[in-house]
Every structure is written in structure tokens, then in C-alpha cells.
Amino acid sequence: MTLILPTISFLILMPTIDAKLAQTITLNNGYKMPIIGLGTFESDPGDNERAVGDAIAIGYRHIDTAYFYKNEKEVGNAVRTKIAEGLIKREDIFVTTKLWSTFHEPGYVEKAFKRSFDNLNLTYIDLYLIHYPVPFQRLLKNDSFSVNDVSSFQLSPVDENGNTLTADVDYLIVWHAMEKLVESGQVRSIGLSNFNSEQTERVLSNSKIKPVTNQVECHPNLNQRKLIEFSTARNVTITAYSPLGRPSSSNGKKLAIFDPKVLELAKKYNKTPAQIILRYTIQNGAIVIPKSTNKNRMKENFNIFDFELSNSDMQFMHQLNNNYRLFEYSSEKNHKYYPFNIEF
């Protein structure tokens, strides 16, 4: 794929088209990452394995999961099935998972990774992310559980008022433990998720291995243009989660996907509003990981490489940004590593 620098100074991802396979971008460590993937957050556990298999058959070569999603085993099962069927080889598929905030203490980073590694059972993991810069307290589910088993701990520890119980672990310490995982050969790339620009810069300035991506909420209502520009200048990609704005569970009046002008653009390009949104986000400079378990919708989301939004239409889409954030993690706002107290 070629990268074109437009007049607005943002890198646009513009792949050469092969509709049968997802296109890729080369990361700062030389590995290639498909610029569209399948998100699996809140996928029905009973349907997730089938959905991942369907996605691979459609042409997806990038699957995003996390220990917190509780579906790593299903993702691994689906990938291994498609390998056994001869549809793909292990090196054809890019699998991302994430370190949850309960396991930021260095001794638990390796334990948590090992659990995800075993859950996926795929020889190696392509990308491992720090899921969130704020650390959580490690509380056992009950007294019968073992402190040596990561599954023994609550994933969302809260106090009597429902506020998250946070801890005090520097994310730089976490990052250095992540670097050791790369040295083990069990993970190829490491990166960040939900980090702001200052936190990203601090990691970049204190690392042996640079993060390859920062996965953040990104859609036309929160287009992250400043963070994309900042990251691109440092050769760090941005991966957009919830790139459609979660239309099934959000305030539809606020979402770009329901904007009348976006509906007009869909008619103009003979595409759906979702395809317009995803195409916009890719041209805005981000990798997209839309979540779906519906086979037809997965096909629709994937079919975005046979058209390009014009400069004027991109300018309109930029104007839809209203900094509407779906995920605020508000109970952690007072933590020193809360990432959303600055502009980007």
C-alpha cells in the first residue's frame, strides 16, 4: 500500500486494492498489520468462534481480542480451525490481545501474558497491548482462589460506591515488563491502548522497544486527528476501536452514522453509512476494528476498498467531530494516569 500526504498534513492509508484480502500497513518494527480487523468486545461467547471463522473466510486477517473480553479461547479455536482447513497459515493472520489493568505489577505481567498465550494457543501472539494506563487493585474473587492464578482476581474491583479500586503502578514499569515478553519470542509486537499523547511520548522516551500502535476510541464524533498527527510523526499507528460509534447501544442523535449528510454520501457512493464511516476513518489515518458477529454486516464492513472519499467529503466528515466519547471511565478521573484529562 502507498501512503499519501494530503494538504491537511495527515497520512491517509491508501492500499492497492485486492478485495479478497485485507490490506496492510508496515509497522515501525517491520511487521505488517492489516488496516481492517474484527473487533470482538462484547461478542456473544457462544457466537464468537463462529463469527471469527466467518470473518477469516470473508478475508479478514486481523482479529482483536483481550483477556478482559473473556473470549480468547474462542478466537484461538476459530483461527486454528481455519489453519487446519488450509484456508490460512499461521503467518497469514494477525492476532491482538491485551494486558488487563489488574496485572500491571511486573510479576503479574508475565503471568497474565502466559494465560492469554495459552488461551489463544497460536504459537505466538502478533501484538500485545497495555489495555489501559490506569492500574487496578488485585482482589481475589474469594478466599479459596490462588494468588498465583490470574483467573483468581476480579477484573473490575470496586468499592461500596461502585468506584474502581485503582493502584499505584507506573506504566513505564509495565512497559519494561512487556519488552521482556518480546525478547522471549512469544509476542512479535507490543503497543498501547487508551494512552494520551503525553503518556505515549513518555513511553517512547523511556523504551528499548517502541510501541507499534495506540488503540483508542476513534470515530467521526471523536476523530482523534490531533492524536493521529502526533502519533504518525513518531511512526506509531493509531488503531480505532468502536469506529462506528456503537450505533446499537448509543445515543443515535449524536452519532455521525445517523447524520442526514452521511446518508446522502452513502447514496452518492452507493455504499452504506457504515461503509462511509469506516472509509473516512481509514482515510483519516487509522486502522479500524469494527465489531460484529453478523456475517452480512462483516462483509459490508470489509467492502470499503473500492472507493475513496473526495477531499470535500473528507472535509465535511471532519466537521462532525464533537469530542463525543463513548468510554470515559469516569470513576478513575482522579487517578494520576487517567488519560482523558487533556485534549489528546
Residue 271 lies in a domain: yes
Residue 38 lies in a domain: yes
CB atoms within 10 A of CB 63: 26
Residue 244 lies in a domain: yes
CA distance 113 to 111: 5
Residue 200 lies in a domain: yes
What's residue 148's pLDDT? Answer: 76
For residue 114, the enclosing domain spans 2-332
Say if strands 24-26 and 32-34 run parallel, antiparallel, or are unpaired: antiparallel
Bridge partners (DSSP) listed for residue 205: none
* DSSP annotation of 320: T
Domain count, the chain: 1
What's residue 343's pLDDT? Answer: 95
Task: Please give the positions annotated as active site.
Answer: 69
Residue 342 lies in a domain: no
CA distance 190 to 203: 12
What's residue 252's pLDDT? Answer: 59
Alpha helices in the chain (DSSP H): 45-58, 72-84, 106-120, 171-184, 197-205, 225-233, 260-269, 273-283, 295-302, 311-318
CA distance 276 to 202: 35
What's residue 10's pLDDT? Answer: 36
Residue 101 lies in a domain: yes
Residue 254 lies in a domain: yes
pTM listed for this prediction: 0.92
Contact between 14 and 233 (Cβ < 8 Å): no
Residue 339 lies in a domain: no
Q: What is the mean pLDDT of each run of 10 residues along the chain (344 residues)?
A: 34 42 91 98 85 97 97 97 97 98 94 97 98 95 76 90 94 97 96 98 98 98 98 98 84 82 97 98 98 95 96 97 91 95 96
What's residue 21's pLDDT? Answer: 73
CATH number at residue 281: 3.20.20.100
